[in-house]
Amino acid sequence: MPENLPVRCPACRREHVYTAPAYPCACGAPVAPTLAQDGAPTVLAHRAWDDDWITVRCAACGRHDQWPHPELGCPCGTVLRIPAAADAGPRAAFRPTLIRTARDVVTNAVLYLRWLGYRDIRRADQRPPSGIGLAARGLLAQVDPTVGPASLRDIECLWLTAMTESAECVYFSLAGYADDARDRADALGIPLFLLDLTGTPHPVNTHATHLHRTGT
């Protein structure tokens, strides 16, 4: 059941009853944030992207996803941010492993994909022209542990393979990307990640930044 919370607007002192919105999880179950019963709403004067989202755990399947932060618009024109409980289920930080070998590069890509919410990760059926291909439900990933930047051909081959399998795709590189490869990935909507030697993936383009923040 969606949660209700009495809220008073600090600007006009009007009383409201706020109902936490529910959103459908990927498993189909409705998910709503837990509201802080003893918290006070704050007036939203300026927006920041990171503050507009909250990570909530689905009670049905245990999945963590990001949903809009609870807000209430008062008729007086004031927008109130409703506090969520601290136990609303924020996603734990990604924990990489140090990269010493090419196998460590692939291991960190697998760990990161799991952290994003992908399950049943396996070797892809089709081997890419370079690097290692990984697959999960609805996703193809290419992991390039070489010391040369990923090329335009690498990006296009990954995209074409994903298209034939009606899947999304993502690329992980240890050495970065050629300029034309980045441009084509941006145009095709392919998230690009750069792995550092600690094993941490860093988003290279806006598609990767969105995937990092929202998960699957």
Give tens-digit pLDDT for 167-184. 999 999 999 999 999 999
Check residue 89 and give its pLDDT.
46
Check residue 197 and give its pLDDT.
92
CA pair distance 143, 137, nearest whole angstrom? 17
Q: What are phi and psi of 16, to 5 degrees?
A: -135, 160
CA pair distance 63, 25, nearest whole angstrom? 8
Contact (CB, 8 A) for 77 and 14: no
Calculate mean pLDDT across residues 29-51. 77
pLDDT tens for each residue of 75-96:
999 999 888 775 444 756 788 8
Max CA-CA distance within the chain?
A: 64
Check residue 88 and give its pLDDT.
43
45-49, 170-174, 209-213: least confidently modelled range: 45-49
Residue 119 above 90 pLDDT? no
30-44, 66-80, 85-99, 131-145: least confidently modelled range: 85-99
Calculate mean pLDDT across residues 149-162. 96
Q: What percentage of the chain carries pLDDT values higher than 90?
A: 51
24-28, 140-144, 178-182: least confidently modelled range: 24-28
Q: Which of 181, 180, 173, 179 is nearest to 202 (CA)?
A: 173
